[in-house]
């Protein structure tokens, strides 16, 4: 073993470990940042995110109001209800004329002969929302209210966090594997290992792509914040602040975990055509959080489990935090589990990477990759 390398690879080292890691990371960064395809795709992704936030804000604030006519006290009461554009009329004849002309969808007039004291006048069909607004609904008291509910906001948050995690992991994790395979296929890895040990090469690739992935997360968070401010959704922004920060923290370690797995999977083959067999399990682990959150987002038991599983915690825990379902200590406990899993996977991935990198030809089997 060469003491300057700190590895049993037997290769000499002309740079320190830190310098080697940064040189490889810098190469990964420069390669991506010089790629027009990467820059264009990132710009399109940011524009889509900004447009989505702005459209959602404007559509929610500019919902069309139903035009109705009403008499007396009924007009005053309905004017305080959201979703109605109320025109006050003097009597039933005036209300009927407005309905017949099409200026209003319906009219509500006082009628002492009616059991409710009111009559709705409409052309062909009375608006259901108006009938529900005028109906008497008893007060409801829930003994065990479900804070999460199954509303559209939970569904949208699941899609948002899940898509960002999956797309970022795939966008920056897959290149780690493909670059490893390319270096093996072109024998460039033999030149690289003559200067730096395998684990330094692996660390540099993971660090470089982690910086790129986290930069994209920061850009998406910035764009989303701008969109929420522009559309006046400051209440939603305040509620999302904490969960987004936790998502970024979990994503950091979750991506490092996945990047080490992508690199290890790529090192087990010598041709791009064979990479699918080793990359498929890692891709499944990347997509699982998105799929599970979409299908089981309103199931509190499943979401609790997902918030502690390292591969799904970056999506599950922020959603539970947004809906106040998690205690203050739960994200810390989940993060501790994530860190332990990250260390274990990195050690195993580094061993596979180091043992498989110089084995050319047929795909290296998993058991063989774990043996020296």
Q: For residue 139, what pLDDT is reported?
A: 61
CATH class of the domain whose range is 66-133: alpha beta
pLDDT at 137 over 70: no
Q: For residue 372, what pLDDT is reported?
A: 64
Q: pLDDT tens-digit profile of 47-95?
A: 988 888 888 777 666 556 778 888 877 777 776 676 778 888 888 888 8
Q: For residue 6, what pLDDT is reported?
A: 41
What distance in Å separates the CA atoms of residue 237 and residue 229, rounded to the nearest whole number?
Answer: 8
Sheet holding 118-122, edge to edge: 84-89, 66-71, 106-110, 118-122
Higher pLDDT, 22 or 15: 22
Cβ-based burial of 349 (10 A; exposed 0-12, middle 13-18, buried ≥19) = buried
Where residue 268 falls among pLDDT bands split at 50, 70, 90? Answer: very high
pTM of the predicted model, to two decimals? Answer: 0.72
Q: pLDDT tens-digit profile of 23-36?
A: 999 998 998 899 88
Which residues partner with 2 through β-bridges?
7
Task: Taking residues 111-130, report their average pLDDT.
Answer: 77
Instruction: Give the number of other CB atoms < 10 A from CB of residue 58.
Output: 13
Q: pLDDT tens-digit profile of 300-357?
A: 889 999 999 998 999 999 989 888 888 999 999 999 999 999 999 999 999 999 888 8
Burial 222-231 (b: 16+ CB within 10 A, else e): ebbeebbeeb
Instruction: Give the number of other CB atoms < 10 A from CB of residue 342.
Output: 19
Q: pLDDT tens-digit profile of 197-256?
A: 888 999 999 999 999 999 999 998 898 888 888 877 777 777 788 888 999 999 999 999
Q: For residue 203, what pLDDT is reported?
A: 92
Q: For residue 10, what pLDDT is reported?
A: 41
Q: For residue 63, what pLDDT is reported?
A: 54
């Amino acid at each position: 073993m060469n003491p300057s390398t700190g590895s049993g690879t037997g290769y000499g080292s002309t740079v320190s470990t830190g310098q080697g890691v940064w040189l490889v990371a810098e190469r990964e960064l420069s390669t991506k940042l010089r790629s027009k395809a990467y820059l264009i795709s990132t710009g399109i992704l940011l524009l889509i995110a900004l447009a989505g936030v702005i459209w959602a804000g404007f559509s929610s604030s500019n919902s069309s109001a139903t035009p109705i006519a009403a008499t007396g006290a009924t007009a005053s009461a309905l004017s305080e209800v959201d979703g109605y554009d109320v025109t006050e009329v003097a009597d039933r004849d005036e209300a009927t004329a407005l309905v017949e002309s099409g200026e209003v969808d319906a009219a509500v007039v006082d009628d002492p002969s009616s059991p409710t004291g009111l009559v709705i006048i409409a052309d062909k069909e009375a608006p259901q929302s108006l009938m529900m607004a005028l109906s008497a609904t008893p007060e409801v008291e829930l003994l065990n209210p479900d804070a999460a509910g199954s509303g559209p906001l939970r569904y949208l948050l699941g899609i948002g966090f899940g898509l960002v995690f999956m797309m970022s992991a795939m966008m920056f994790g897959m290149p780690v594997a493909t670059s490893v395979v390319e270096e093996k296929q072109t024998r460039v890895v033999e030149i690289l290992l003559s200067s730096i040990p395998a684990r330094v090469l692996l660390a540099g690739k993971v660090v470089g792509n982690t910086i790129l992935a986290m930069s994209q997360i920061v850009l998406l968070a910035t764009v989303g914040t701008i969109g929420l401010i522009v559309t006046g959704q400051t209440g939603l922004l305040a509620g999302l602040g904490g969960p987004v920060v936790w998502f970024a923290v979990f994503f950091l370690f979750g991506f490092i975990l996945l990047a080490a797995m992508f690199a290890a999977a790529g090192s087990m083959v010598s041709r791009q055509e064979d990479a699918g067999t080793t990359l498929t399990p890692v891709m499944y682990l990347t997509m699982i959080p998105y799929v599970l959150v979409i299908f089981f987002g309103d199931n509190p038991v499943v979401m609790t489990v997902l918030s502690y599983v390292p591969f799904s915690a970056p999506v599950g825990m922020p959603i539970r935090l947004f809906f106040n379902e998690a205690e203050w200590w739960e994200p810390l406990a989940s993060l501790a589990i994530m860190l332990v899993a990250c260390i274990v996977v990195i050690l195993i991935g580094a061993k596979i990477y180091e043992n498989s990198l110089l084995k050319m030809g047929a795909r290296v089997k998993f058991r063989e990759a774990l043996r020296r």
